[in-house]
A and B are shown apart, each in its own frame.
Chain A
Amino acid sequence: MSPEKDNLCSCYWPEKILLLPDSPAILDEITGEFRWKNSDDEGYIVFKFCPKCGYEIPKISRDCIDGIPKEEYIELQSTLKNIRSIKEMTKTYGKPDKEVIQMNYLKKSETVTIHIFKDCDEKIEILLRPKSADQKRKK
């Protein structure tokens, strides 16, 4: 079965939702319905189409999430669950391999905002962007 050929969702957003810890959705084994539980646990609504790519949600859950086996995905997710900062993340996964930084200065000038980028090769890029009428008002 090829999701692309069958006009089925190939972005895997529905599967990612199903695999969330305490997922709000289930894939009903009998009907194949993708059911999103209501917040008060009274009933559910059925999603037929993927809200992200617009194609139909498959009625059987797939073993791979965009090339990542389900077990591997779940395992990663469980280690990430309580991580709330890069410091905590470094404790689990070590130093990141790449780092890209963007710094914005919004109030240095009346007419422009200043954007400074540093890519993973330490290269610095500087850009000025004209302020929109809206930004000028907010300033």
Chain B
Amino acid sequence: MRKIKLPVEYYPCKCLKPQEYRDQGNTCIKFHPETGAFDILYNDISGEIWSRIMFCPFCGGRSPQGKYKPPITRPLSQKEKLQETTLKQKIKSLEDAYGLLGEPDRIFTQYKFKNPSQNAVLLACEVIDNTQENEEHFTVFIHPKKT
């Protein structure tokens, strides 16, 4: 069983080491100015990774998680609900969607390979982002067969 620290066990990081190290350019600890959180920078098999520091590697305290706020949502209006129903009636396949709405702005595809080896499965994620000059990302994760 995988276990992760729960909010009741959290204590805030006060050791200031992440701040100290990120000011030394040659360490893997980076401050992400856009999110206001700390990341670890390294290369994995898919390329460069900025991996969020959830807990301080030096004291185990909860790290600042940045200023990301989940967007405030509102319920759909009557008119929007109607649009949704109409789309549901008209779109029964992805081809229908292309025919009616054209090329999507973003496409996420997740592929699962169930039997690449005895104890593992592979999950491959492909993102095609047409909003950013056809940017494409491809990442593969190795997971245990039984979770």
Contacts of B78 in A (CB 8 A): none
Q: Say yes or no: B101 contacts A130, CB within 8 Å.
A: no
Question: How far in angstroms is the closest Cβ of chain A from B114?
Answer: 4
Contacts of B50 in A (CB 8 A): none
A28, CB-defined interface residue at 8 Å: no
Q: Say yes or no: B124 contacts A39, CB within 8 Å.
A: no
| Complex interface bits, B46-82 against A, C-beta within 8 A gives 1, otherwise 0 | 1000010111111110110000000111111100110
Question: How far in angstroms is the closest Cβ of chain A from B81?
Answer: 8
Contacts of B109 in A (CB 8 A): 86, 99-102
Contact of B140 among A20, A89, A122, A130 (CB under 8 A): A89
Contacts of A55 in B (CB 8 A): 3, 5, 60
Question: How far in angstroms is the closest Cβ of chain A from B62?
Answer: 8
Contacts of A77 in B (CB 8 A): 45, 142
Complex Cα gap A22–B146 (Å): 28
A81, CB-defined interface residue at 8 Å: yes
Contacts of B115 in A (CB 8 A): 97
A80, CB-defined interface residue at 8 Å: yes
Contacts of B116 in A (CB 8 A): 76, 93
Complex Cα gap A118–B108 (Å): 11
Q: Say yes or no: A52 contacts B140, CB within 8 Å.
A: no
Contact of A76 among B3, B53, B117, B145 (CB under 8 A): B117
Q: Say yes or no: A11 contacts B4, CB within 8 Å.
A: yes
A1, CB-defined interface residue at 8 Å: no
- What are 7 of the A-B contact pairs (CB < 8 Å)? A68-B144, A84-B46, A105-B101, A112-B76, A116-B91, A116-B94, A118-B94
A-side residues, CB < 8 A to B, are 3-4, 10-11, 17, 20-22, 24, 36, 38-40, 42, 45-56, 65-69, 72-73, 75-77, 80-81, 83-86, 89, 93-94, 96-109, 111-112, 114, 116, 118, 120, 122, 124, 126-130, 132, 134-135
